[in-house]
Structure 1
Amino acid sequence: MSVSAKSIARELGLSQSTVSLALRNLPGISDSTRRRVLEKAAEMGYQKSALAAVEAPRFLSLVLYKKHGSVLADTPFFSDLIQGIDQQAKKCGYQVFITYFYENQNIREQLESLKKSLCSGIILLATEMHDRDLLAFQSLEIPLVALDRYFPEFDCDCVVINNIYGAKKAVQHLIEKGHTRIGYLRSSVEIRNFRERFEGYSKGIRLLPHPEESRPFIVRISPVAEEAAGDMDAYLAKKPQLPSAFFADNDNIASSCMVSLKKAGYRIPEDVSIIGFDNLPVCKVMEPALSTMSVAKEQLGAYAVDFLIRRIDGSADSPLKIEIKPQLVERDSVKQMSPAGAE
């Protein structure tokens, strides 16, 4: 009976992917671990010919699910996410192939094509998905991890942003800066991430000391940068009484609304403060530079790969969910208010 990477892994108490990396002389493990694997392989009579299955090209499918494309677009956020996936996969001896999955096209044909690809596992970028959309992918019976969306009703590993924490933290920052009337530039496109950010905003404004200050002040804005400015222009044309600060669902909304506000004669942050979410490159080039909640995008991608390989190796038990907390990045778009609420 030939000795396999799986049997070596079992003897050493290691994952099969770790043993495979050692046998294939790939990076991603320590020298001491590699030595242990090779010594155990020799001891067990591992034959080079048995390496054929291990040396066969292994790849993961990164499926980008596009329901409408209003959120999942070619932005730096998703570019960084994909880079994190690709880098971690290479460390673990896998190649990544990107597949776009379009809801308005034949679902069955797309699933069949994915099944025929013979990938080892699927990372499903589920930003725009609904719960029911996951059923079709689970029917493939291929190891799968959902990225950027949680599916509480399904047995599925998920790697997500802690949106509630991030939005609440952004609002708390505005409160600490002395703002007592805090508005919300809320996405006009509904996805789970934005619903969670609304929950975080709601929790944040409830920390304001006076009940009349904690009523939501919401302006609906498109998350698509090209459309967001037009939405804000239309809102400002009504000459509304603005709050002293806004939290925005993402940096596309925040930066576009900053342009509209300045065009309408408002000074930032003197008249209106703004804080965004995601920490996109645009934050640094805005005038003033945009404060935001930074998301560790590459780390999100790397965790998704790690979770998926555990599923492929059979070393994972119950479905896991990992949430990454965004971190506050202070720049110049938020004003420190005087104790009276104005200077």
Structure 2
Amino acid sequence: MSAGVIATAKGVTLGDIAKACDTSIVTVSKALTDKKGVSDELRRKIKATAEEMGYVSSRAANIKNNHIVGVVIPEKFMNPNGSFYWALYNDLVKQFSAEGYYCLIEQISQEDEDKLVMPKLVMDGTASSVVSLGQLSREYAAELVRNMPNLVLLDYYIHGLELDSVTTDGYGGGYELTSYLCELGHRNIGYIGTVKATSSIFDRYMGYMKAMIDNGLEVRNEWTLDDRDYRDFIKIAFPDELPTAFVCNCDEAAFHTIRQLEERGLRVPEDISVVGYDNYLISEISKPSITTINVNSVKMAAETVRILLNRIEFPDSDKINVKISGELIIKDSARKI
């Protein structure tokens, strides 16, 4: 079955409904999905006509056919000991399963990403829709959507590419973490994260910068430190003079930061405070536990499912970009000075 909209034995389509109601397919699509831009009277007429004609959405038809969703992720994000993305993938599986869909995961090697080798589950037709979990390059994402129009980016977005996406509010989270450190009395605050590596790291950095500016504090370049290259985490190049606190782009980066500071003979939080982002398992097992932003992965997964099913049913609808707000979780890795 195609990913378009069809589907009863009678073959009732959006076009049929549009013709019967003397309106456009776009208007019918908006009415059936309760989007703005349609009068209440016309919306009622369209819905009643669709019911009378026996219209069944492609979403419902695909459920009966055990529709398969591919989840593709760069292998550099899949730590064998567990990662935030494993947890997010698990939430995706549960959410799609509740809708009658199956998920298949495929990891993308750095070599395949560089050479624009498309996922096997796309090229062999196994999946007719895809969730891209964890940031791929602009070139790869552009090639992927050419081969798979039913695509949602999860936990990242790419400027200039009109694609459905679900992300956390990294800007707001970075701002809240930095503001919290300011409330504790910190005035010299650095940021750890390779700023241009992913959209989420960049957004969290921008939130950090805005909070520093709003509090009248200086953003010092020597305290903005890379934590990874294009393949993996790297050893952080700390300067001789350190701030009193670091905002880290994720909990894993915060964990590495704490360990490397300890190697220099510094104690967290007694000598320097460190905060992270995600509220992933590592933030709790770390010693000290890491103050962080809780990411609602269940809500992110639910929004991803909603958007992808909408894209399957209404392939020409407007692109949807959703940001999920987080919550500050105070633990043991930051202290008042």
Alignment of 1:168-183 (within 5 A): 168-183=175-190
Residues 4-55 of structure 1 deviation map (CA, whole Å, 9 limit, x = unaligned): 6979xx79x867xxxxxxxxxxxxxxxxxxxxxxxx99x9899xxxx99763
2:97 aligns with: 90
Mapped partners of 1:328, 1:4: distance in 2: 51
Q: What letter corresponds to residue 220 of structure 2 in structure 1?
A: R
Matched, 1:218 2:224: yes
1:312 aligns with: 312
Mapped partners of 2:227, 2:62: distance in 1: 52
1:130 aligns with: 137
Which residue, out of 56, 71, 86, partners 1:62? 71
1:255 aligns with: 255
| Percent of aligned pairs with the same amino acid | 22
2:46 aligns with: none
1:241 aligns with: 241
From the superposition, tell whether residues 170 and 5 of structure 1 become closer, same or farther in structure 2 (CA, over 3 Å): farther
Cα offset for 1:255? 1.3
From the superposition, tell whether residues 149 and 188 of structure 1 become closer, same or farther in structure 2 (CA, over 3 Å): closer
Computed over aligned residues only, the root mean square deviation of the Cα atoms, in angstroms, reads 3.5
Alignment of 1:1-343 (within 5 A): 2-3=9-10, 55-66=64-75, 69=76, 71-74=77-80, 75-105=82-112, 110=118, 114-125=122-133, 127-187=134-194, 190-209=197-216, 213-216=218-221, 217-222=223-228, 228=234, 231-232=235-236, 235=238, 240-314=240-314, 317-337=317-337
SS of the aligned residue for 1:110 comes to coil
Cα offset for 1:269? 1.5
Mapped partners of 1:130, 1:105: distance in 2: 11
Mapped partners of 2:117, 2:201: distance in 1: 31
Mapped partners of 1:53, 1:220: distance in 2: 45
Mapped partners of 1:6, 1:299: distance in 2: 31
Moved more, 327-336 or 311-320: 311-320
Mapped partners of 2:334, 2:120: distance in 1: 50
Asked if the contact 2:63/2:101 (under 8 Å) is kept, the reply is: no
Mapped partners of 1:52, 1:297: distance in 2: 28
Cα offset for 1:200? 1.7
Asked if the contact 1:310/1:316 (under 8 Å) is kept, the reply is: no
SS of the aligned residue for 1:158 comes to strand
Asked if the contact 1:221/1:253 (under 8 Å) is kept, the reply is: yes
Q: What letter corresponds to residue 208 of structure 1 in structure 2?
A: N
Q: What letter corresponds to residue 157 of structure 1 in structure 2?
A: D
Residues 189-245 of structure 1 deviation map (CA, whole Å, 9 limit, x = unaligned): 7222222222222112112235xx443422333389x955xx24x63xx6x222111
Residues 97-138 of structure 1 deviation map (CA, whole Å, 9 limit, x = unaligned): 11223341395763565132242311112x332222222112
From the superposition, tell whether residues 203 and 120 of structure 1 become closer, same or farther in structure 2 (CA, over 3 Å): same
Moved more, 166-175 or 154-163: 154-163
TM-score by length of 1: 0.74
Q: What letter corresponds to residue 303 of structure 1 in structure 2?
A: E
From the superposition, tell whether residues 154 and 52 of structure 1 become closer, same or farther in structure 2 (CA, over 3 Å): closer
SS of the aligned residue for 1:104 comes to helix
SS of the aligned residue for 1:155 comes to coil
Moved more, 317-326 or 113-122: 113-122
Q: What letter corresponds to residue 261 of structure 1 in structure 2?
A: L
Cα offset for 1:80? 1.2
Mapped partners of 1:321, 1:185: distance in 2: 27
SS of the aligned residue for 1:221 comes to coil
Q: Between Structure 1 and Structure 2, how many residues are aligned? A: 296
Residues 53-112 of structure 1 deviation map (CA, whole Å, 9 limit, x = unaligned): 76322111111145xx2x454433011110111111111110111122334139576356
SS of the aligned residue for 1:187 comes to coil
From the superposition, tell whether residues 113 and 241 of structure 1 become closer, same or farther in structure 2 (CA, over 3 Å): closer
Asked if the contact 2:290/2:331 (under 8 Å) is kept, the reply is: yes
Mapped partners of 2:306, 2:206: distance in 1: 29
Structure 2 unaligned spans of 5+: 1-7, 21-30, 34-49
Structure 1 unaligned spans of 5+: 16-39, 338-343
From the superposition, tell whether residues 183 and 44 of structure 1 become closer, same or farther in structure 2 (CA, over 3 Å): closer
SS of the aligned residue for 1:190 comes to coil
From the superposition, tell whether residues 6 and 254 of structure 1 become closer, same or farther in structure 2 (CA, over 3 Å): same
Cα offset for 1:328? 0.8
TM-score by length of 2: 0.75
Mapped partners of 1:145, 1:163: distance in 2: 18
